[in-house]
Amino acid sequence: MSKPVEEQIRELKDKLARAAHERDEYRKLYELASIELERLRRHIFGQKAEHVDPAQMQLAFDAIVQMLAGTGAQPDAGTGAQPDAGATSSPDGRDGVAPNGASESGDKGRQARPHGRQRLPEHLPVERIELLPPEAQDERATALVRIGEEVSETLEWRPASFVRLQIVRPKFAVRGEPEQGITIADVPDSPVPRSLAGPGLLAHVLVSKYADHLPLHRLEKMFERWGLHLSRSTLCGWVESCADKLAPLVGAMAKDALNAHCIAIDATGVLVQAKEKCVFRRT
């Protein structure tokens, strides 16, 4: 006995709805797989700096495989993602990943770094603080004999400080011959004439401003915390005077750079698709 027409129409509509749903799911999977494939192609065939470990490529398709499993479809044996030849299976079932979460091929080329406390450099100045037990600080200390010591080191910070550098130039005269006049050493040259700043302070201001990127108003506040007020206008005058002194050196460096084969002015890398068509032209 044949089914009623209404029931057949209802079954056909249900099949059509299921087919449309599966079509939409496979379309999502196709778009996701296309994106992952394009990304992996760039990693494989791009520049050497962009290459990745082939053992990690299997992980990129885990989401696709899980989505396929969720829809009830099984990946085809010929086209499904297969474990890479260099990948290994871990006890938890993940391919290409060691139990500790790192790939096996990545562990081979990675050197183990030593752990533990870092040794302090030998060139640092040493300050000793000696701690005596209470028994060695009273009358009982006469009955004790020192047999050794235990030394532990910590890294401490001593803030920078200003010093008053006095340059003393003794005066001399010839005994019994005052007409010979007075003998005294010449005044040492200063980068900034008639300035209170010595070469070390001027170098510190320049390095702080141009190497450490500290503006002069911050240096002014730092110097105030160290107990000396130096206005930013004074610091600006020192920078200007030092710039005039260093202008010949900067000009020589610029001339040397312009005579070079090429100048690297930016570290931003740009991928060149046709290197054989690139021609260097000096301007």
Tell me the β-bridge partners of 173.
182
Question: Residue 28 CA to chain centroid, in angstroms?
Answer: 39
Can you give the pLDDT at residue 57? 56
Q: By C-alpha distance, which of 241, 246, 278, 248 is closest to 262?
A: 278
Residue-wise pLDDT for 153-196, tens only, equals: 888 888 888 899 998 999 988 888 888 888 999 888 888 888 88
- Rounded CA-CA distance 234/220 in Å is 10
pLDDT in tens, the chain (283 residues): 567 888 888 889 999 999 999 998 898 888 888 888 888 887 777 655 555 555 555 655 666 666 666 655 444 444 444 444 444 444 444 444 444 444 444 555 566 666 666 788 888 889 998 988 888 888 888 888 888 888 888 888 888 888 999 989 999 888 888 888 889 998 888 888 888 899 999 999 999 999 999 999 999 999 999 889 999 999 999 999 999 999 999 999 999 988 888 877 766 666 777 777 766 555 4
Tokens of 165: 């550098």
The span from the CA of 73 to the CA of 16, in Å, is 18
**Measured distance CA(32)–CA(61) in Å, rounded:** 9
151: number of Cβ within 10 Å: 5
In angstroms, how far apart are the furthest CA atoms of the chain? 150
Contact 184, 169 (CB under 8 A): yes
pTM, two decimal places: 0.49
- Please give the angle made by the CA atoms of 124, 128 and 130, to the nearest 5 degrees: 160
Q: How far is CA 236 from the centre of its chain?
A: 31
